[in-house]
Each structure stands twice: as structure tokens, then as C-alpha cells.
Structure 1
């Protein structure tokens, strides 16, 4: 019988959609950058910070919000400390990777809760990566303590709208209900119920590593889901750039990969054109050929995915 590690979802990951926006904090900034799946890539973080500076030069105050899995490839003491110290200066929610580094769950493996369509080899390699990172994190108890105090989700009031920032979906930290594959399969009725129960206007997610941008009308109001895929590696065909979610009432300075504009609100998936060559030099030292990370991710880093921009936009079918 195959192990459930990496496929099962720990009970601590669970929450109810009705609880997600019971408490909300006001945002004073003009633009939100929601950054999921940084994956320990310092050069992507450099570029995101430069993008924010460019906005601020135009008078747009930017709030950086990290919604999990900012750790993953950063498997050295120096890089682990660098990434966590830089990220934790901002507004942060946990991803499954960060959760399992702070307080490992028995039998969770990587905590990814991979569905059946994901190959077992991917699951096994992720579990081995997590074991290496957990051993590293144990050498940094101060960072573990800071991670353990982070929330699993946040609700932000931005321009009078409720922006729900989470990692997986509205039922689980590692849920796949907002995955690209779920939108392809048609999940409008589930999405409508999550929006009705939570009261959110926009949901920003990441976890499942492929981008998606959905819009639909629920209770006579436009609702939006933005899944940025990964900020720290390529998301589209022959495109090595990461993606982040930008939310603002001003137009983005650069051309988005995909975007929705409604009554002045712009929700965009913005490319992160980091220094791939510099990152590969560091990645290859940490994860040489035949290592689990190299086997699972290096091809994607240099080639992107099979998706084109038109494949990540999902208008409601209802």
C-alpha cells in the first residue's frame, strides 16, 4: 500500500470558509502585491522589490503580502536565513512548506496534499526535499518560532473590498480547489458557494503552482480569483518569468500576463523577470543533477510550462 505522505491533508490545515473574513485589517497602501510560491529564490525577490520601487516612484504605495511557500529551494543556512528575514519583514501567511518547517505534522510529508493526478514520483521527491529542509530549519529555531506565529490566511479591506489572501483554497491550507486543473474541470458552483459564505470579493491563492485568473458574478457582484502560480519560477510556455498578483485601483506600469479591470479595480498577474542565470548557478550548487528538486523543477525553470496566457483566464460559466 502506497504511503499517504504528501497526499493527505493534516487536520491543522483545515478551516471553514465562514471564518475567513470574520476579522479583517484595513490596508492604507494603494497597491497590493500578493506573492505566492517564491520558493526561496532571492533574485525573484530582488525583482519584486524593484517592481514595487518603480510603482512608488509613480506615487503608488505598495504593500507586499506573501501567501506561503516562500521557502523551498533555499537549502543552505545563509539562503534560508536571508529569505526568511527578508520576507518576514512584510505581511505574511503560511504555506504548507512553511507550516511544516515550523512544526512538522506526523505523516504529512511535504504537506502538499497532492491529488491523484499528480505522479507519485513528484510526491516522493517533494517529501525528500521537505526532509532536507526540515533538518535545516531545526538549526534555526528563531526562524521556526517566527514562522509558527504566522496565520494561515488574512482578510484585507482594500478600497472597500474584502481581499482574502490564502495559500490553498477556502477549506484547507493545502487545498486544490483553486488549482488551474479545477478551473478547467469547471468549479463555478463551488466558487460561488465559497464567495457567498466567506463574503470575500477577491481571493488570492497560490499553492498549486500553475496560474489561473477567474471572474464571475455572485449575488450580483463581480468576484475574482487570482492564482499566481509561482513567483519564483516560470509559469507559461517558453517563459521563465515568475508571476505575482497585483491588485490596485491604478493600472499596472508593465504589461500583465493576464488581467481583469472592473469599475477601476485592476487584478493582474504580473511577470517577474528575475536573473535566471544567477539563480541557476545557485540552484545547481544546492540541488545538483539527479537531486529531487532538480528532477522535479529544473526543466520548468528553463522552459516554463505548457500553458499560454489565454489558457489561464477563466470567465464564469454561470
Structure 2
């Protein structure tokens, strides 16, 4: 398979990965996947955390992508050290010597070849940034690929892709809608005794709950996800709900929610274009989404068990 579509064997997670004792204990947990180098979104996230004392944050991969400016990359890295950063495919491949796997996204067959090729070119440019920052590749490579947190006494599994692979696509919306996948997850949750699995990777949100367990994919913290505004999305897990939630579900005693990240769009767009001018691979792949959002509705992200929870959800823009 070509670069960008290959799933390296070392992306596989151990079968007992989420059976380990919790390495993080808190009453409120934020999971932030797909920041993609948007430090304006990070500003908002840090303010959210500061307003909720005792909350913990796990950045579950792909914190970098658009931040090819070394100063911006380094700024984000320094700020992540205050929290619990994990590796996504972006960090894993930036830490790896050589370029055998490209961006490491493990894109499925339906993804256009041009999209894969542009992702590999973005990765190459970002690799040059990391190569110019002494010790950075080693720092990225030392991060774990998964984490178990105990939230209000309940175990929560966190990784970048799915429960099997760091870059797995089995927690995207299409996969989670299939009966056989839901049955597979039901058996997995029962075996692992995990209450919630929080992930991202697919760059598009999806959420599924049976009431006893939940899977939540926050899509992207650093890019628009829906058709009703230019905001990122993060996951919040706690015993009590947040007034800011867009949609939520119960998973045992835990409330699992998607919250908006209403970052400074103008500042982010300006910083993006300074790093990625017209004709660059990142602009060709992402500029339209950054400026216009997607055609997905919040309701479409809620596969089962999640309900819309905020007036923002009533603002769906007709396509």
C-alpha cells in the first residue's frame, strides 16, 4: 500500500491496553483530539480548564498539523506539557526516522488519492519543522498511545484511533452505525470493563451510547465540524452536565458530552494562511472547511443514545 494508506504494525494496541490501572484520576475529564496546530483553539480550551478547577485534560493525538512555523509548533508543545498528551499518527510519524509511512493516517480506500498525497506533503513540511527543533522528535515519540483515566470512580479509555489501532477508523460514523460493530463494542466494553472510549482521528465527530457505555469521537478540536458555525469540538466526561454542551449521553453514572470550541476564527485563518499560502497542500485540503465548515449536522453525529442539548443545535444551516 502507498504512503498515507498503510497502517504500520506498531500502531496496533495490545489487547489488554485498557485493562491497566488508571494513570490519571479526576472528577472532570476533557479529551481534546485533533487540535491540528490551532493555538487559538488552545487558548479557548485553556480558559475552559481554568474555569473548572480540578479538571484534567488529555490531548489524544494530532495536536500538530498546520503549525509548520517552528515558533508556533514549539509554543503549542510547551503548553501541552501542562496536561496529558498522547501520540496520534502525526506525532508518531514525526518521531519516526525515515518516511516509509508518510502521514500515517491509514486512509481508507474511499479517500481520494489526491487527498492522501497532500497529507503526505503536509507531513513532509512538518517533518522539516521538527528536524529543526533539537530533541523534539524524541519528545513526541515518548508519548503513550493510550491512557486509562478514572473519572469519578469510573474507568475511561482514551486513544487516538479506535480500541485496536492508533490510526484505526472503526470509530467513525459509518462504522459505528453498523449492527455488527455495535455488537463487537458491546462485547469489548463488557470484557474490558471500560465505561467510555474517547477518540478522534477521523476528523469527523460521532457518538454512540447504550446507557451503560459510550463511544465518543470529537472529530476536530481545531477545525469546524458542522454546518452551523466555525467552531471546534472537544469531549467532556463527568458526573454532572455542562451548560455549554451541544449533545450528551449517560454512560452509567457518567455524563458524556461534546462541547464547542469557539476560537478566534479571524486570527486562526490569518495564522494558517501565513504558514500555508494559496496552492499549498494544506490550503487545497482544508481552507474551504476552515472558512465554511462542513455539510454535517450535529444530529447526524448522534448515532444512538446521545441527545441534542444546546440552542446551538437549533441553528443548523440548511445546505
Matching residue within 262, 273, 294 for 2:283: 294
Cα displacement (A) at 1:111: 0.1
Does the residue aligned with 1:39 lie in a helix, a strand or coil? coil
Which residue in the other structure is 1:225 paired with?
A: 215
Q: Which residues of 2 match residues 51-62 of structure 1 at below 5 A?
A: 51-56=48-53, 61-62=54-55
Which residue in the other structure is 2:90 paired with?
A: 97
Gaps of 5+ in 2: 306-319
Distance 1:275 1:18, change over 3 A: same
Distance 1:127 1:14, change over 3 A: same
Matching residue within 13, 17, 30 for 1:19: 17
Matching residue within 19, 30, 33 for 1:33: 30
Does residue 313 (structure 1) correspond to residue 302 (structure 2)? The answer is yes
- Structure 2 CA distance, aligned partners of 1:155 and 1:105? 31
* 1:243/1:269 contact within 8 Å kept: yes
Which residue in the other structure is 2:273 paired with?
A: 284
- Structure 1 CA distance, aligned partners of 2:161 and 2:279? 29
RMSD over equivalenced CA pairs, Å = 1.6
Gaps of 5+ in 1: none
- Structure 1 CA distance, aligned partners of 2:227 and 2:61? 24
Write out per-residue CA displacement over residues 194-239 of structure 1, whole angstroms, 9 at most, x where no aligned residue: 323333110000000100111126xxxx010110000001000142
Does residue 133 (structure 1) correspond to residue 126 (structure 2)? The answer is yes
Distance 1:105 1:194, change over 3 A: farther
Does residue 48 (structure 1) correspond to residue 45 (structure 2)? The answer is yes
Does the residue aligned with 1:129 lie in a helix, a strand or coil? helix
Does the residue aligned with 1:68 lie in a helix, a strand or coil? coil
Which residue in the other structure is 2:151 paired with?
A: 158
TM-score by length of 2: 0.91
- Structure 2 CA distance, aligned partners of 1:302 and 1:130? 22
* 2:151/2:237 contact within 8 Å kept: no
> Which is further off, 127-136 or 263-272?
263-272
Does residue 243 (structure 1) correspond to residue 271 (structure 2)? The answer is no
Cα displacement (A) at 1:23: 3.2
Does the residue aligned with 1:141 lie in a helix, a strand or coil? coil
Which residue in the other structure is 2:5 paired with?
A: 7
Q: Tell me the matched-pair count.
A: 304
Q: Which aligned runs of 4 or more in structure 1 are off by greater than 4 angstroms?
A: none
* 1:4/1:107 contact within 8 Å kept: no
- Structure 1 CA distance, aligned partners of 2:247 and 2:98? 36
Write out per-residue CA displacement over residues 77-112 of structure 1, whole angstroms, 9 at most, x where no aligned residue: 101100111112211111000111112465211000
* 2:195/2:251 contact within 8 Å kept: no
Cα displacement (A) at 1:18: 2.5
- Structure 2 CA distance, aligned partners of 1:133 and 1:306? 28
